[in-house]
Amino acid sequence: MSVELIICLVLFGSLLLGIPIFASLGIAAVAAIMVSGISFSIVPLDLLKMGSMFPLLAIPAFILAGVLMEKADMAGQIIETIQIVFGRITGGLGIITIVASMFFASLIGSGPATAAAMGAILIPAMHKAGYGKDYAAGVCAVGGTMGILIPPSNPMIVYGVIGNVSVTSLFIAGILPGIMLGFMLIGTAYIIARKRNYKGTGEPFNMKHFLKTAYKNKWSLFAPIVIIGGIYGGIFTPVEASVVAVLYAFLVGFFVTKKLRNKKLLWETLVFTVETSGMVLIVVAVTQLFARILVMEQVPQRLAEWSVSVSENPKIILLMIVGFLMILGMFIEELATMAAVTPILVPLAEQVGIDTVHLGVVMVMTNEVAMLTPPLGVVLFVLMKMSNLSLGQVARAVLPFLLTLIIATLIVVFFEDIALVLPRLMGYTG
């Protein structure tokens, strides 16, 4: 029995038994070592190797920054400002949700956290304004997925570190696809709202009121400029930006909104960050071992040979990857998916002529689709809890948005310049 077959059987067998992804990867790696005769000395070496991966420091820092911003009510201030511009439009609250999600996503890099922050504020607001709860849950759910595409993005960091791809290039590459997807989702939200006759506030836009509100909430609105502008302007690296984000969120929450003066709240924030970061980093650590064994057994090379035997067209191979990831993402959380498949797909992409930065963006967009599809669909479960709807109701509500998301993913697959034009213009490469 070949080593790759043993890896597949043990890995998927472990997942079907409900064993966590990091343990499943570890068990599969150990099984492969036992069969192939590789020295067990690589186990501690590869696990310790993760400690020297400097870019991974950005993950716990961005998680902490995101929680601090949520607790500091920075999301609420962003929504208050955006509502003045879009509130008067048909389905204005749905459009506000998408736009606010794009803003908030540029601060925290997490899909579920973005969905939770938007849902906590906007689901009650939409329900009060006469919007259906299903529509409110659906638009908040799809808005939440923007959290892993609009940079900074935790899945992009994981992909970049494991695949040895520039994280800064990935962040820049996510901008135009994120904006394009945002406009497409706004159009979808507007069409549904118009069909259901969800009216806006009817209040005309008042520039004076807008400027006054924007000035009042300036520290929250200025956050994306500080974090993202600093990265793209070459002022600091993504890791340094994550630390700046933590400091900025704390200062705003402590001195401006004063929400973070509660010691108990701060302690809960730190505990949540440690738990979440530990979960992510242990998956990445085990993945290093898993990836080493795959390379030693030449699994990526054989997969490349098989893919080329099906088709030599990189776009066809990329579509095959998208289909595989959409199915896999129904059962595995997005960070775990990125960690598990990156060691296989990056070498494959390099051999068949797919740009690795382009692949990273496509993988993230595919994971957005997976976040909205049962049985896992992590964002669906977040919105179920917040809207008091069943999984089936929330899943049906996201279907039109899911279709839009799939179309956007296919557009980026076939028109790679949407992702690559900015990195190339700014002199970054994968």
Question: Does 98 have pLDDT greater than 70?
Answer: yes
Torsion of CA 320, 295, 332, 2, to 10 degrees: 80
pTM, two decimals, is 0.78
Taking Cα atoms as reference points, which of 76, 202, 198 lies closest to residue 134? Answer: 198
Max Cα–Cα distance, the chain, nearest Å: 73
Are the CB atoms for 348 and 311 separated by under 8 Å? no
Quote the tokens at residue 55: 């870019």
The one-letter amino acid code at 68 reads L
Q: In the prediction, which pLDDT does 417 show?
A: 94
Quote the tokens at residue 188: 């979808």
Are the CB atoms for 377 and 335 separated by under 8 Å? no
Distances (CA, A) of 279 to 165, 282, 335: 22, 6, 10
Which residue is listed with tokens 């956007």? 408
Q: In the prediction, which pLDDT does 108 show?
A: 67
67-81, 106-120, 412-426 — most confident range = 412-426
* pLDDT (mean) for 120-132: 83
Sequence-ordered list of residues with C-beta below 8 angstroms from that of 115, at least 6 positions apart, any chain: 101, 140, 141, 143, 144, 145, 147, 379, 382, 383
* pLDDT (mean) for 292-316: 73
Question: Does 308 have pLDDT greater than 70?
Answer: no
Question: Does 198 have pLDDT greater than 90?
Answer: no
Question: Does 145 have pLDDT greater than 90?
Answer: no
* pLDDT (mean) for 237-262: 89
* pLDDT (mean) for 169-178: 92
* pLDDT (mean) for 300-307: 66
Are the CB atoms for 260 and 78 separated by under 8 Å? no
pLDDT level of residue 304 (50, 70, 90 thresholds): low
pLDDT level of residue 342 (50, 70, 90 thresholds): confident
The one-letter amino acid code at 3 reads V
Q: In the prediction, which pLDDT does 124 show?
A: 84
Return left, alpha or beta for 200; rule: phi > 0 is left, psi -120 to 50 is alpha, else beta.
Answer: beta
Are the CB atoms for 409 and 322 separated by under 8 Å? yes
Q: In the prediction, which pLDDT does 218 show?
A: 93
Please tell me the distance from the alpha carbon of residue 88 to that of residue 84, in angstroms, as a whole number.
8
Question: Does 66 have pLDDT greater than 70?
Answer: yes
Please tell me the distance from the alpha carbon of residue 401 to that of residue 89, in angstroms, as a whole number.
19
Quote the tokens at residue 248: 């900025």
Please tell me the distance from the alpha carbon of residue 133 to that of residue 111, in angstroms, as a whole number.
20
State the chain's mean pLDDT as an integer: 83
* pLDDT (mean) for 393-397: 89
| More confident site: 389 or 276 | 389
User: Do you know the residue count of the chain?
Assistant: 430
Are the CB atoms for 398 and 132 separated by under 8 Å? no
pLDDT level of residue 252 (50, 70, 90 thresholds): very high
| More confident site: 308 or 122 | 122
Q: In the prediction, which pLDDT does 26 show?
A: 80
Question: Does 242 have pLDDT greater than 90?
Answer: no
Question: Does 407 have pLDDT greater than 90?
Answer: yes
* pLDDT (mean) for 46-54: 64
* pLDDT (mean) for 266-283: 80
* pLDDT (mean) for 347-375: 88
Question: Does 74 have pLDDT greater than 90?
Answer: no
Distances (CA, A) of 68 to 53, 107, 108, 289, 360: 25, 11, 10, 33, 28
Are the CB atoms for 72 and 188 separated by under 8 Å? no
Q: In the prediction, which pLDDT does 296 show?
A: 73
Q: Helix or strand or coil: residue 330?
A: coil
pLDDT level of residue 144 (50, 70, 90 thresholds): confident
Please tell me the distance from the alpha carbon of residue 236 to that of residue 215, in angstroms, as a whole number.
26
**DSSP state, 88?**
T
| More confident site: 46 or 220 | 220
Burial of 157 (0-12, 13-18, 19+ CB in 10 A): buried
Percent pLDDT > 70 in the chain is 88
* pLDDT (mean) for 300-323: 79
62-71, 83-92, 175-184, 306-315 — most confident range = 175-184
The one-letter amino acid code at 401 reads F
| More confident site: 277 or 251 | 251
Please tell me the distance from the alpha carbon of residue 310 to that of residue 159, in angstroms, as a whole number.
26
CA pseudo-torsion sign 219, 225, 230, 233? negative
Q: In the prediction, which pLDDT does 300 show?
A: 60
Taking Cα atoms as reference points, which of 365, 388, 379 lies closest to residue 159? Answer: 365
Distances (CA, A) of 404 to 183, 188, 197, 368: 10, 7, 21, 11
